[in-house]
Structure 1
Amino acid sequence: MKKANTTNAQPLCPSAQPEMAQSLVFGVVNGTVEEPRVGYLAEPQLVTDEILALCDPVKPTEVFRFAAPCAGSGCKHFDGSNCRLVERTVQLLPEVVDVLSPCSIRPSCRWWQQEGKAACMRCPQIVTEIYQPTEQQRQVAAPAD
Structure 2
Amino acid sequence: MSTEMKTLCPSANHKEVDAVLFAVVGGTPERPDVAYLDQTQPITDEILQLAGEVDPTEVFRFAAPCATTGCQHFNGEQSSCQLAAKVVTLVPMAVAKLAPCAIRSTCRWWQQEGVAGCQRCPQVVTLNYAPSEAMRTAATEHLSP
Matched, 1:11 2:7: yes
Q: 1:88 maps to which residue? A: 86
TM score, norm. by length of structure 1:
0.91
Q: Deviations over 1:74-100 (max 9, x none)?
A: 000000100000000000011111201
Q: Is the 8 A contact 2:12 2:63 kept in 1?
A: yes
Q: 1:78 maps to which residue? A: 74
Give 1:41's match in structure 2, choosing from 37, 42, 60.
Answer: 37
Q: Which consecutive unaligned segments of at least 5 residues does structure 1 have?
A: none
Q: Which consecutive unaligned segments of at least 5 residues does structure 2 have?
A: none
Question: Helix, strand or coil: the match of 2:74?
Answer: coil
Distance 1:68 1:92 in 2: 24
TM score, norm. by length of structure 2:
0.91
Distance 1:62 1:136 in 2: 18
Instruction: After TM superposition, give the deviation of residue 143 of structure 1 in Å.
Output: 5.5
Give 2:122's match in structure 1, choosing from 115, 121, 124.
Answer: 124
Instruction: After TM superposition, give the deviation of residue 135 of structure 1 in Å.
Output: 2.2
Matched, 1:65 2:61: yes
Q: Is the 8 A contact 2:30 2:131 kept in 1?
A: no
Instruction: Show structure 1 runs of 4+ deviating over 6 A.
Output: none
Matched, 1:22 2:18: yes
Q: Is the 8 A contact 2:98 2:118 kept in 1?
A: yes
Instruction: After TM superposition, give the deviation of residue 6 of structure 1 in Å.
Output: 8.3
Identity %: 52
Q: Is the 8 A contact 1:94 1:122 kept in 2?
A: yes
